[in-house]
């Protein structure tokens, strides 16, 4: 991440450029340029700064207010730099005015500063010495001796936790049918909308027994652990010793969570119901259309991957069938609607219809046939309860472990050592110019350059990596 400025008030034109690698963002580059310009300014002078970052100007005005408490300041991004900037302004008796210029508008010196900042990315990074970034008598967390975590620490740690959870989700064996064997289909799912859809209440209440059952069903369906024949054989192998593993409705296919929603027994009915769902989506897009240049909803839907009516080979349909939101659906809605609230409304309208018309309808048909099949085998709910009870009470040392749906556990006395540093690096960028978040999980190469420290007097020194 490079930063640079051009000084034009003197007889000659002076320039400065530098780079840093700690929690990079486009705004931080602008703030670092402001800080280094303040450092280079003589005392008792009037400094006028022109920048194309409106966010930097707003943050400068906000952090300069005297009624802003230390606690509120530490919730702002780059607060360590802003604290130092205002401290230097006061110490050096400066009067600083910042004005906005339009980016990439042909402004000579602004474009020159942009080119210098771009060229500075290859320079050795500089870091603030930790003794200078704050005067407050509070503890500021630091990251691996590189510098302070100068942003809202709760949000920062929540992002790390979410990424940690997401990485575990990618390793889940039960979801391999959604992701593909090499995670090549991960980017076909909109995870943000999927999370919102799973948490969507079915009756509008915050907490209810019906909503708990509804949410539980969606989670089981997403995780491919609905009680199909193959799952029951794993959980209760002694109850299903001599039973078939084929589908109850269509005997020529193996029963599984990947099959029940695509069973040939209801192929034509399912296709007709899916076309009805797409009709609901078309009407919703036309009714809530906000972008005047958007095409006809009928044409847009018919040309999208959603309209592949070979449902067995339609990846978007399979993702919808298991209560996830395909990226093809969110991209389609984004062509018609700008408002995030309206996008969510249209998405939930379509998903609710799909849930009732496809998922619940054909799962009920499968579950009803499954219960009749179990009844013919004289297997009852009570039998399963007693089986679980006996298994939990069985403490024989030579007991054979039952098959498990989860990945093999670690050896006794060991624990999984997750690459926490990778997660920390992943949340240290705003991904504005560095690709998607998934790039950090596919290929992670940490920056191995030796960092440098940069103090307010303009001196450089190597940082000690110890501690």
The yes or no reply on domain 2-141 and CATH 3.40.640.10 is: no
For residue range 101-113, list pLDDT tens digits in order: 888 777 888 888 8
Confidence of residue 441 (pLDDT cuts 50, 70, 90): very low
Whether 145 has a pLDDT exceeding 50, the answer reads yes
259 backbone dihedrals φ, ψ, rounded to 5° = -105, -35
Count of C-beta atoms within a 10 Å radius of residue 412: 5
Q: Across residues 46-70, what is the average pLDDT? A: 89
b/e map 90-129, b = 16+ CB within 10 Å: eebebebebeeeeeeeeeeebebbbebbeebeeeebbbbe
Per domain, the residue ranges of the chain are 2-141, 184-377
The two tokens of residue 86 are 């205002």
Give the mean pLDDT of 306-332.
Answer: 92
Least confident range of 102-111, 382-391, 395-404 = 395-404
Query: What confidence score (pLDDT) does residue 345 get?
Result: 93
Instruction: Give the least confident one: 122-126, 189-193, 328-332.
Output: 122-126
Least confident residue range of 90-94, 246-250, 413-417: 413-417
On average, the pLDDT of the chain sits at: 80
Pairing of strands 14-19, 2-7: antiparallel
**Range 125-149 average pLDDT:** 64
Q: What is the pTM of this model?
A: 0.67
């Amino acid at each position: 991440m490079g930063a640079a400025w051009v000084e034009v008030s003197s007889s000659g034109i002076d320039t400065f450029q530098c780079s840093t690698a700690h929690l990079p963002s486009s705004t931080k580059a602008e703030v670092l340029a402001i800080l280094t310009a303040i450092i280079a300014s003589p005392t008792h002078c009037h400094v006028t700064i022109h920048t194309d970052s409106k966010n930097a100007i707003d943050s400068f005005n906000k952090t300069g207010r005297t009624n802003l408490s230390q606690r509120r300041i530490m919730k702002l991004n780059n607060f360590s730099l802003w604290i130092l900037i205002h401290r230097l302004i006061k110490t050096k008796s400066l009067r600083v005015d910042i004005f906005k210029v339009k980016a990439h508008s042909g402004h000579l010196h602004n474009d020159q500063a942009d080119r210098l900042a771009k060229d500075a990315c290859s320079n050795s990074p500089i870091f603030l010495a930790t003794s200078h970034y704050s005067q407050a008598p509070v503890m500021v967390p630091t990251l691996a001796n590189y510098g302070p975590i100068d942003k809202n620490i709760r949000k920062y740690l929540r992002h790390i936790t979410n990424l940690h959870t997401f990485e575990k989700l990618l390793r889940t064996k039960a979801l391999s049918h959604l992701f593909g064997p090499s995670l090549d289909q991960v980017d076909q799912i909109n995870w943000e909308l999927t999370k919102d859809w799973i948490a969507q209440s079915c009756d509008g209440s915050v907490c209810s027994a019906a909503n708990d059952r509804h949410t539980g069903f969606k989670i089981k369906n997403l995780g491919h652990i609905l009680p199909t024949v193959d799952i029951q054989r794993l959980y209760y192998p002694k109850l299903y010793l001599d039973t078939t593993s084929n589908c109850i409705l269509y005997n020529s296919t193996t029963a599984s969570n990947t099959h029940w929603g695509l069973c040939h027994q209801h192929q034509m009915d399912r296709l007709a119901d899916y076309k009805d769902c797409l009709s609901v989506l078309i009407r919703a897009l036309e009714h809530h259309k906000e972008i005047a240049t958007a095409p006809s909803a009928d044409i847009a839907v018919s040309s999208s991957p959603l309209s592949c009516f070979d449902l067995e080979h339609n990846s978007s349909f399979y993702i919808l069938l298991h209560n996830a939101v395909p990226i093809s659906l969110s991209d389609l809605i984004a062509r018609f609607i700008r408002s995030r609230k309206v996008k969510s409304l249209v998405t939930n309208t379509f998903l609710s219809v799909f849930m009732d018309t496809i998922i619940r309808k054909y799962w009920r048909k499968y579950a009803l046939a499954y219960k009749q099949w179990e009844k013919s085998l004289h297997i009852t709910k009570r039998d399963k309860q007693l089986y679980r009870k006996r298994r939990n009470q069985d403490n024989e040392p030579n007991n054979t472990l039952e098959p498990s749906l989860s990945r093999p556990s670690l050896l006794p006395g060991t624990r999984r050592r997750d690459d926490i540093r990778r997660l920390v690096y992943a949340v240290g960028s705003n991904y504005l110019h560095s690709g998607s978040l998934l790039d950090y999980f596919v290929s992670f190469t940490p920056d191995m350059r030796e960092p440098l420290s940069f103090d307010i007097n303009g001196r450089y020194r190597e940082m000690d990596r110890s501690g």
